[in-house]
Chains A and B, each alone.
Chain A
Amino acid sequence: MKRNVPLMIAMLGGLIMMIQYFIPHQASQDVFDYYTEWAPLVGSFALILGVGSITRVHVHKIRAKAPNWPFSLAVLIPLYLIPLFAFFLPASIGGGTENPSLFDFMYSRVQIPIQATMFSMLAFYIASAAFRAFRAKSALATVLLVTAVIVMLAQVPIGDLLGRWLPDTGLWILRFPNLAAKRAIELGVGFGMLATCLKIIFGVERGWLGGAGE
């Protein structure tokens, strides 16, 4: 029962979605809309479990005085304090709309800049990854290095100055070998997705069931 009911729900849901794709009728569209409306609902309830998980992990670390346990406090305090700001101090402290509320302040002046900082670090990571990737240790790595140099120079004005052949070659690489490889991967991904979906719908793949899988 624990295994068959989820399998039947998955099969029924999968088949309904598959069939509705071919039926443009309003009733079919309504089923699709109704079905997809459930996803955010389930997600919002699962968020409670998620918050429970993060709390449990960090409370355990604090209690056990695990290494770096003060960082757990740095997670738990804002986790509960910021929603309290949103619920109990929704308006600006100074009044009016010019001064943001405490919640807005924490979000726009703390969280967003921190996230932007994380994202901007990507530039440095790209540089170090590129350095490692472009070391011409083998014939294939040399091909990669030469190709990357041509494509990069083709994108900037200096490439055009060095010679018209450079942007043309860069464009050719992007249009033909690169696009062919991308399409081949996309094709494989498409078939892989379809096969995985079929395996789930017909109960061949049960790993997603977690504890009810076997």
Chain B
Amino acid sequence: MLKHLELLLLVAALPFGTATAQTASPGDPGEAAAAVTVDSLAAIPTVEPEVAAPPEVGPATVLTIQDFPNDAGDHLILSFCESPNPECVLAYLVMRRTPGAPDSLGGQWAVVKNVPSGDPTEIVDGYDPDFLVEPGTQYEYRVDVLTLDGRQIEGPAVTPNFSPKGEIFHTEKLKVLIGCIIFIGLIFLYFKRAQMGHELYLRPIPGIDAIDEAIGRATEMGKPILYVPGLSSIEDVATIASLTILNRVAKKVAEYQTPLRVPNRDPIVYTVAEETVKQAYMEAGRPDSYEANSVFFVTDSQFAYVAAVNGLMTREKPATNFYLGMFWAESLLLAETGSLSGAIQIAGTDAITQLPFFITTCDYTLIGEELYAASAYLGREPKQVGGVKGQDACKGIVMALVTIGIVLSIVDIFTGGAADPSKSLLLKLQGLVDVTSLE
């Protein structure tokens, strides 16, 4: 019975393996065999893998922190010195915190920029919308090294002795300011000359001269005139120029008692256009002829507007169509439909991409600046004409600069400036007038 009990115990102890066997009584032959196996295993020498000590990687240090020039005080320029062991570096983490601030307000270190190893070590902080730089806030920086084996080695923290501040004048815009002063000065000079009674010549523009003829044609045919003031909003200068022309056109239309249709895409433009036309009828002494529904809002959807205006052209067959203002892809859809309906068409826009479409489909096209000058041409008020002459004077200055540039580029060929930028006279002139780096 006892022997059977021992056997049972042995079977129960087997799953516990060698550890249990070691504690077994040495008198049992089976257990002794198990103990031998364990001893032989213990005798095998253990080969421990050799773990190399991580290489020493020196920290990166912040070199300089500067306030970004000509900004609102929301950027800082930071440069740092790379780790002395760049071969072990994966990236540099530029960390920032606001000393003394609670954690939720930037009091704890946060990575504001991750600079891969080998990239420039000068960064501008403040562009990341998640980590904006607040003007007047004192920040603390440090640059941590992220090693190839995944360690992050902290660098020493540096607190600049200043806080970012916004500037009162953008020094890089000085050239623009000088240009503006010259331009405004010339405009006012010509205003003054025009007011003093000087005769100022304006070259004739066929498109503007044809406006009277086009209105007269519609009157003779007893058909309406369609005036499209562009599809842009009132903020667009082209729209404002168009509305001033509408004022002159509506005055003539009122004198001739011709129906006028002004469909609008922008609700604000619609309200201004309505008032403009109403006033023009009053000035012409025909307030009773003004039709309340002649100026109307259609829709602010571009192609729905096109469908509505094309429908109007097809149904009412206006004798004259004006397209003056800002246009996009709809320009050809409108002008081609107008052309097919047999109307005389006068267009004007400052959208260079749409000008070819108008030129091919319309009888007269006001190109670019002619749209802005049209109001002065139609009104002939001295100050308006003075404004156009001032513009021409400014263009004269630009033409002179372009001519000087051409001459200097030729001189550069002979003096070696074309090959050596340091000797180039053209580049010197460009440096004086170039403002393309500005926003």
A binding-site residues for B, Cβ under 8 Å: 18, 21-29, 39, 42-43, 46-51, 53-54, 56-57, 60, 67-68, 71, 111, 114-115, 118-119, 121-122, 125-126, 128-130, 132-133, 182, 185-189, 191-200, 204-205, 207-214
Contact = CB atoms under 8 A, between A and B. Distances in A.
A21 B332 CA distance: 36
A193 B187 contact: no
Contact of B72 (A26, A42, A188): A26
Interface in B176-213: 176-177, 180, 183-184, 187, 191
Contacts of B245: 207
Contacts of A193: 237-238, 350, 372
Given A192-B372, A211-B279, 19 more contacts: A21-B176, A24-B70, A25-B166, A118-B333, A122-B329, A122-B333, A125-B336, A129-B360, A182-B352, A185-B369, A186-B352, A189-B352, A189-B372, A192-B369, A195-B387, A199-B383, A209-B275, A210-B272, A210-B274
A24 B247 contact: no
Contacts of A191: 183, 369, 391, 394-395
Nearest to B307: A118
Contact of B240 (A27, A133, A189, A208): A208
Contacts of A130: 360
B338 to A, nearest CB: 11
B375 A197 contact: no
B184 A198 contact: yes
Contact of B237 (A49, A115, A125, A196): A196
Contact of A54 (B272, B297, B355): B297
B293 A196 contact: no
Interface in B230-271: 233-235, 237-238, 240-241, 243-248, 264, 266-268, 270-271
Interface string B75-86: 000000000000
Interface stretch (B5-13, B20-28, B298-306, B414-422): B298-306
A31 to B, nearest CB: 12
Interface stretch (B94-102, B167-175, B219-227): B167-175
Contacts of A60: 293
B336 A196 contact: no
B321 interface: no
Contacts of A46: 267-268, 270-271
A210 B183 contact: no
B296 interface: yes
Contact of B268 (A24, A42, A121): A42
B274 to A, nearest CB: 7
Contact of A50 (B282, B297, B307, B367): B297
Nearest to B239: A208
Nearest to A134: B360
A189 B266 CA distance: 22
B180 to A, nearest CB: 8
Given A25-B168, A125-B333, A188 B297 contact: no
B395 A187 contact: yes
B170 A132 contact: no
B240 A200 contact: yes
A132 B361 contact: yes
Contacts of A198: 184, 187, 387
A111 B388 CA distance: 44
Indicate the size class of the contact surface on chain B.
35 or more
A132 B368 CA distance: 23
B320 interface: no
B297 A49 contact: yes
Contacts, number: 212
B388 A196 contact: no
A50 B279 contact: no
Contacts of B241: 192, 196
Given A121-B333, A188-B368, A211-B275, A25 B73 contact: yes
A189 B238 CA distance: 9
5 A-B pairs with least C-beta separation = A210-B275, A207-B244, A192-B372, A50-B267, A188-B369
B267 A49 contact: yes
Given A185-B355, A192-B371, A57 B293 contact: yes
A133 B362 CA distance: 11
A96 to B, nearest CB: 29
B19 to A, nearest CB: 60
Contact of B267 (A47, A188, A199): A47
Interface in B264-295: 264, 266-268, 270-276, 278-279, 282-283, 292-293
B405 interface: no
B373 interface: yes
23 contacts: A21-B173, A24-B70, A24-B169, A43-B268, A46-B268, A49-B267, A49-B271, A54-B299, A118-B333, A129-B332, A185-B355, A185-B369, A188-B368, A195-B387, A196-B372, A197-B237, A199-B384, A205-B240, A205-B375, A209-B275, A211-B279, A213-B247, A214-B279
Nearest to A181: B352
Contacts of B184: 198
B398 interface: yes
B391 A195 contact: yes
A198 B299 CA distance: 31
